[in-house]
Amino acid sequence: MTEHSSDRLGAAITAELAAAGLDPAQVVDLIGRAVDEDLDGGVDVTTTATVPPEQRATLDLVARRSGVVAGVPVAAAVFSYVCGPEATIVELATDGESVLPGTAVLSVTGRTHDLLQAERPALNLLGHLSGIATATREWVDAIAGTGAAVRDTRKTTPGMRRLEKYAVRCGGGVNHRMSLSDAALVKDNHVVAAGGVAEAFEAVRTRFPGVPVEVEVDSLEQLDEVLEAGADLVLLDNFSPDQMREAVRRNAGRALLEASGGLSIGSAAEVASTGVDYLAVGALTHSAPVLDIGADLRQES
């Protein structure tokens, strides 16, 4: 296994990633694996054959479509990792910013060989994260003024959860639990194993008294059970809008309520207007289209 050191990012980019709530060591490990995968133990044969070794140029990453950018510091980290300290990296857009086609979001000057080697890993990460932020913003805009928030799930790409959940935040959404250990979510299979929804809730509360507990229910009767037991948050699974309104009435502010299952951008406003606190949208991370961002090379004169 190749070891990747976060020292290759430089102090400024390392600090920027940390300020965004990202672990620089995890980011550099992901970048290193992406770069290693691209070269596969060899060299970039096209660039090696066509570009003089010492040629320098500037590469601009430019939005081809409108959207919300996320991952600009991550893309900068890719270029810092590959190009080294002699490269000049300028971030031209801020994560969470809406951009129009033709907007340059990042500009890097360095050896052409290095720029072209870093180009695809940087675009893959930037386009993917910006796609998530763009999709999230669409949901956030759809429920604006309702008091509800859009929340992600654990349906993330293996190894990229922290980055993808960061992109959700850039789009204006909020994060659900990051891992199985920082909060409990009692789902239908746990209920079956424990012998009932109230029993499952009590088992978690007894074993891990300091951990927030969310319970999934699929009926108003189950809702009454878990509210009586003292659940902190209740996930309303595949409830109709009318059932959600009734759930809000019965809840009377005792727990936070999260709508889940079968939600669409077209129904988002109606669901949010029922009075639930969250809309759980797995599609933010598992189905968001990549935002089209391209790379334009400018040779030094």
Q: What is the pLDDT along the chain (301 residues), one digit of tens a residue?
A: 344 455 779 899 999 999 999 999 999 999 999 999 999 999 999 999 999 999 999 999 999 999 999 999 999 999 999 999 999 999 999 999 999 999 999 999 999 999 999 999 999 999 999 999 999 999 999 999 999 999 999 999 999 999 999 999 999 999 999 999 999 999 989 989 999 888 998 999 999 998 999 999 999 999 999 999 888 899 999 999 999 999 999 999 999 999 999 899 999 999 999 999 999 999 999 999 999 999 999 987 6
Q: Residue 39 is part of which domain span?
A: 6-140+288-299
- Which residues 6+ apart lie within 8 Å of 85 measured at CB? 10
Confirm whether 36 is domain-assigned.
Answer: yes
The pLDDT value given to residue 299: 85
The pLDDT value given to residue 197: 87
Confirm whether 1 is domain-assigned.
Answer: no
pTM of the model: 0.94
Confirm whether 17 is domain-assigned.
Answer: yes
Catalytic (active site) residue 237: yes
Coil/strand/helix, residue 58? strand
Q: Give yes or no for a contact between 44 and 116, defined as CB atoms under 8 angstroms apart.
A: yes
Confirm whether 116 is domain-assigned.
Answer: yes
Catalytic (active site) residue 65: no
Catalytic (active site) residue 120: yes
Residues 159 and 243 in one domain: yes
Annotated catalytic residue within 33, 155, 218, 292:
155
Residues 156 and 255 in one domain: yes
The pLDDT value given to residue 6: 58
Assigned token pair, 43: 């060299």
Annotated catalytic residue within 216, 225, 258, 277:
216
Total domains in the chain come to 2
The pLDDT value given to residue 301: 60
Residues 127 and 10 in one domain: yes
Residues 214 and 251 in one domain: yes
Residues 34 and 163 in one domain: no
Catalytic (active site) residue 216: yes
- Cα distance from N-terminal residue to C-terminal residue, the chain: 41
Residues 117 and 164 in one domain: no
Confirm whether 12 is domain-assigned.
Answer: yes
The pLDDT value given to residue 281: 97
Catalytic (active site) residue 249: no
Residue spans of beta strands (DSSP E) within the chain: 56-63, 67-68, 88-91, 98-99, 104-111, 149-151, 184-186, 213-217, 233-237, 256-260, 278-280, 293-299
Residues 124 and 171: their CA atoms lie apart, in Å, by 18
Residues 149 and 144: their CA atoms lie apart, in Å, by 9
Annotated catalytic residue within 120, 154, 188, 218:
120
Annotated catalytic residue within 91, 152, 237, 258:
237
